[in-house]
Amino acid sequence: MSAIRHLWTHNRPAFVLFLAATLVAGFFLVRLALFSIYWADPAHRNLTPEPWMTPGYIAFSWGIDPKLLIDGLDVPPHGRPTLMDIARSRGTDVSQVIDEVEALLAIYAPPAPDGPAPKGPAQE
């Protein structure tokens, strides 16, 4: 405790900057841990696109580059519009935007490793 008191009385600006840097680093460490835990959960992988989702969220869920969906949907690179927002800005129904997303996922998404095996003639 005396070391902290010494730093506070003799090197206050450096000590305050050190504490601020430690808090910022801690914030990003917690954020990284939460992000990693969330996306490691299999329940968050290959989600069916819904109106509340953003192209970036869908891309992370499907393991593809978000730029592929953003460019494929012709969405401005700034902001985080949901599929509903994209449909409103186009003046179309959200189901049409979801159909576009599903078509892009069919092109760019890797096949699911734990998905069902294709049925052969003997299994049908």
> Has residue 116 been placed in a domain?
no
> Has residue 120 been placed in a domain?
no
27-56 burial: b if 16+ Cβ within 10 Å, else e: eeeeeeeeeeeeeeeeeeebeebeeebbbe
Give residue-wise pLDDT tens across range 67-97: 999 999 998 878 899 999 999 999 999 999 9
Indicate if 55 and 100 belong to the same structural domain: yes
For the chain, give the mean pLDDT. Answer: 87
> Has residue 8 been placed in a domain?
yes
* Number of domain units in the chain: 2
Rounded to two decimals, the pTM is: 0.69
Under 8 Å between Cβ of 91 and 98: no
Euclidean distance between CA atoms 122 and 118, whole angstroms = 11
Q: Which residues span the domain enclosing 28?
A: 2-40
Euclidean distance between CA atoms 37 and 41, whole angstroms = 7
Indicate if 30 and 68 belong to the same structural domain: no
* Confidence (pLDDT) at 113: 59
Euclidean distance between CA atoms 97 and 58, whole angstroms = 13
> Has residue 12 been placed in a domain?
yes
The least confident of 30-34, 35-39, 40-44, 118-122 is 118-122
Indicate if 55 and 19 belong to the same structural domain: no
Give residue-wise pLDDT tens across range 46-58: 899 999 999 999 9
Indicate if 51 and 86 belong to the same structural domain: yes
Indicate if 48 and 33 belong to the same structural domain: no
Indicate if 9 and 48 belong to the same structural domain: no
What is the percent of the chain where pLDDT is above 90?
64
> Has residue 95 been placed in a domain?
yes
Indicate if 30 and 54 belong to the same structural domain: no
